[in-house]
Amino acid sequence: MLSSAREKRKSTDIPPGEASAIFADRIDLLFRLGRIHLFLPFSAFCVVAMLYTGREAVGIVVVPLLLQIAAAVTTGRLARRYARRDPSDDPEVWADRYTMASAFSGAAWGVGAFIWHIPDSFTAEAFFALAFLGMTATEFMTQCAYRPAYLVHAALSLGPLALRLVLDGNIYASLSAVLVLFFGGILFADCDAMANLLDTSLRMRRHNADLISRLSQEHAELEMARDLAEHANRSKTNFLASMSHELRTPLNAIIGFSDILKVADLQDKFREYANYINSSGKALLGHLNNILDMARLDSGAVTLSQEESSIAEIVSDAVDRVKAETDLKERTVYVTVAKDLTLHADIYRLRQIVENVLSNAIKFTGPDGNILIKTLPCPDGGFELHIKDDGIGISPEQLPTIMEPFNQVESVYARSQGGVGLGVPIAKSLVELHGGRLTITSKRGYGTQVQIYFPPALGATKASTRQLP
């Protein structure tokens, strides 16, 4: 037990609890590697050599071999008992049991050192010394996980051999005894280095197992968090869709009745009220539609249809839809697009992209401002749609924020224009859904340019220019 305690305390940089676990792993490795029967071929060669000399009776010559076979059987039974042990058993107890089995095996070899010795025959002494050194080297490889086990085996096997050689009294036998002890001492010293390497390896294996366990747990937690987030996102989309339907139904009624009131025979004051009701209802309906679109885009619920249309028609329709707003604010919109440029895409969503970006440009362009819409071919066969204004512009540090939902440029002018900050994010998401990209370049006080890139889908282009009437 004391030797076991010393073995556990050798790694002073390892915490006590971890040192005990590593010691248990070393003993487990000892029982798995400690195959004492591996030395039996060396013993068999020694028996053959003794039988060849004919100096001893067969019954005496085979005694050490029989003892070693008994030691191997004992160790095998001990290993099987260890495999069926209770996991709560003290590994020190099993280490001491293995050490006792190793001592039995070493003592069997010690008996062989006296029975197999041939006096005054240096050749025979050299042969048996070589056999014993081969045996102890084999034991070193199987028992280096636990130094006390190797120590008792080497002491009880090599010690008697060295003693017998010294008792021969000749210089060669004495030098052979010194050589045997020196070789055994070197292997014993190397046991410590091997044990430290095993400790390091076992510690790394234990740490890797802990790391794999933590990673598996974190992966499971991430999957659970992802499932919860997806569920929450679906719930949000369903809620917004339901609320949008419930709000749009009365809003459509308000807008419809206000349209009737606008053309009814009313006093100017009441007709103005009807106009306010109508414009406010349409604005609120637009906000609801944008919020629902953003929610559906976030959840991946938006699907695209495939239709063929020219980019000129798409831009023209978008400009016509915001024409009233453009006339009201006295802005001028110039359109320079390719008439023969066609697209196979979702026409409704492309029109929505252009409307959102154009409405944003009009909103932040002052009176008598100009807005230019043009197409440019790209080297890869795609094209870009540019929408440029000479409005208030955006500072570089604010550019990333306008790509995020519900964010607007922070300024008194921006806040006076209203809106919820969804126009550009929706346009960007729809462009990316088509496989394109939307980028913005701007400078405070010098206007803003939005570039919308679409993948290759055009033929030869020919530009035409018109001014919005």
* pLDDT value of position 241: 67
* Longest alpha-carbon distance in the chain: 142
Question: Which strands make up the sheet holding 370-377, listed edge to edge?
Answer: 437-442, 448-454, 383-389, 370-377, 332-338, 463-467
Helices (H) and strands (E) in the chain, counts: 15, 8
* pLDDT value of position 208: 79
* pLDDT value of position 387: 92
**Torsion, Cα of 137, 142, 146, 147 (10° steps):** -10
Q: What is the mean pLDDT of each run of 10 residues along the chain (469 residues)?
A: 49 60 80 70 83 78 89 87 86 89 89 84 82 82 79 88 84 85 82 72 75 86 86 72 71 78 74 78 76 74 81 88 65 82 85 88 82 88 89 83 71 53 85 89 88 72 42
- 101-138 pLDDT, tens digit per residue, is 889 988 998 898 888 888 777 788 888 888 888 888 87
Residue 275 neighbours by CB under 8 Å, 6+ apart: 258, 262
The H-or-E segment that residue 192 falls in is helix 171-263
Residue 178 neighbours by CB under 8 Å, 6+ apart: 162
Type of residue found at 155: A
* pLDDT value of position 362: 84
Nearest to 335 by CA among 387, 391, 390, 392: 387
pTM strictly above 0.75: no
d(CA 87, CA 83): 10
d(CA 274, CA 264): 10
* pLDDT value of position 88: 84
- 195-211 pLDDT, tens digit per residue, is 777 777 777 777 777 78
Residue 442 has phi, psi (to 5 degrees) of: -160, 160
Residue 272 neighbours by CB under 8 Å, 6+ apart: none
Nearest to 5 by CA among 93, 77, 76, 75: 93
Residues in the chain: 469
Type of residue found at 461: T
Q: Where are the beta strands (DSSP E) in 320-459?
A: 332-338, 342-345, 370-377, 383-389, 437-442, 448-454
* pLDDT value of position 388: 92
- 25-70 pLDDT, tens digit per residue, is 888 878 877 665 667 788 888 888 888 777 777 788 889 889 988 9
